Chain A
Amino acid sequence: MRPPQDTVISRRWFLERMAWITTAAAGADALVPRPLFGAERTREYLREIPASNNTLQQVSELTELTISETVDFLRRGVVSPEDLVRAHVDRIDRYDQFYRAYADRPSLDALLASTRSGQDGSYQPLKGVCLAPKDNFYTTDMLTEGGSLVFEGFQPHYDATAVASMRSAGGLIIGKAQMGNLAGGRAQVYGTTIPTTRNAWTPNHVNYSPGGSSSGTGTAVAARMAVAGLGTQTGGSVVGPGNAQGLTCIKPTFGRISLHGVIPLSYTRDHVGPMARNVMDAAILLQVLAHSDPNDPRTRGLPPAPNYVESAVPTLGLNTPVRWPTRVGVLPGWTDPNDEGVARMRGEFLRELESMGNVQLVGEITLPEQWEELTSQPLGGSHGDPTAFFIESLRRDVRLFGDRLPRFLNGMLQSADTYVKVQQARMLLLHRIQTQLFNQCDVVLTEGSGAFDGTGMPVLCMPIGFDTDPSSGMSVPRGVNLAAPPFGEERLFAVAAAWQARTDYHTVRPEDPVG
């Protein structure tokens, strides 16, 4: 006889927790159950990573290879993981004194030893791929300092689930990337406002921002010191540096990627986001990372991850069609920014989009009711979130928090009734975005990502051109943010795949530093 449902559910939860506790008791290094990078279906999707059109002779440097090219070149046997590691370490040794993208790095010997994992024949789609997670992801072999004095010298005893997933897929953590203080602003010398990480496009000009707070990952990937990386986004911190450095990044639907082992800023708004040089690489990383995690209940009970890799393959046909018929809208004011150059670029982008097959440009959409109230402070914010996690550090010494102190103390001033109302407003906003915004379009172009961060909807950024930074005189990339309804990642990848099939902004690399 089938048992009643309550016993099934509670027993499953109990068994998982007991497995975790038993494993933990066996030793700190084995705290986390082995998170594989996905179900068999995910492995099948990853086997469909398309072949590269390039030969090794056509590639200027090994550090120029993307994830999909690395997979293909390894498959063909024309490079080895050891070659790739050495090329990246050489480049970091030579140039990171200018970029200052890394906070901590493993030794070359440790990296070379890591390339020998998976010799049991297990499938490793990221074999030899050098990756740079932000310094708020726990790593057993490197410090995790969160860009802050609060975590100075912190050595975790387990890997974040996202890091463990990348490693189990063969990925190599080439270093921990610098970040803004506790996931806010650009990377700085801990406890000060002195900037460290440079934008990869202006390595000799410190004043031009690399974007925050995933600054180091953005710079490492753009400067070819990592093939791709992971950032986190609570309020634009993946797409910000992504747009500032010409990258293609995806902040997926909340819960798609485990946050276990990530220093939290907000339990309700943090997202892990792949940062890459093109849409295929962003899709591959999401494919590896989008799985349920027993240690993060927010990842449970979601629809299975679909075939992201396929959605990032451009479809053949007249006018580079998007894979699915897609209505594209823009938020009011998006076509009319203050910067004339950006306005011109966005206009050209829209004209190009309109000429693509399967795209219907619907223009400015009508905003949902009460948009302004629901997306601005206090209802659209997350004042109360960080305080509880950091209370002991706040008691120890508030100076550890530097310029970010108010953000961490605010929870002491926000009342419980306001906190409840923020969450009511957040749910109301989600329903209104679904029924009053995404009834007009399937994808929307947006200046900021705040409304979509708070409700947990996916946002993708990608480059659409170059402009001149007036202060340095350097050519710098400009990008766009595209948002979609919950679980709309495939749609975003499909639009980006079509765009990148007919443009080459994403392939342009910055000049090396001078000096």
Chain B
Amino acid sequence: MSVNKDTVRKIAHLARIAEPEERLEPLARELSTIIDWVEQLDEVETEDVPPMTSTVAIKLPLRDDVVTDGGYPEDIVANAPGSQDQFFTVPKVLE
């Protein structure tokens, strides 16, 4: 199995998804199946192949340095589960 329980625990935490202990083993199996399957890419010779960097044949567009946006703090916090005085609020963060 390419992915074990500890790895699942680690990546679940990296992804900030709580996974109960009993889910780790089944998830490890599921992910291993998928990982083993995608590893067929190893058959492909890609030594001198550049990675695809863009799907479109255009150059990155650049915009002018002009203030065109902002100024609507009420809209910014309108959907927030927690807000006060136009700030978002979250459980206290310890530095």
Pairing of A with B: no
A interface, CB within 8 angstroms of B? none
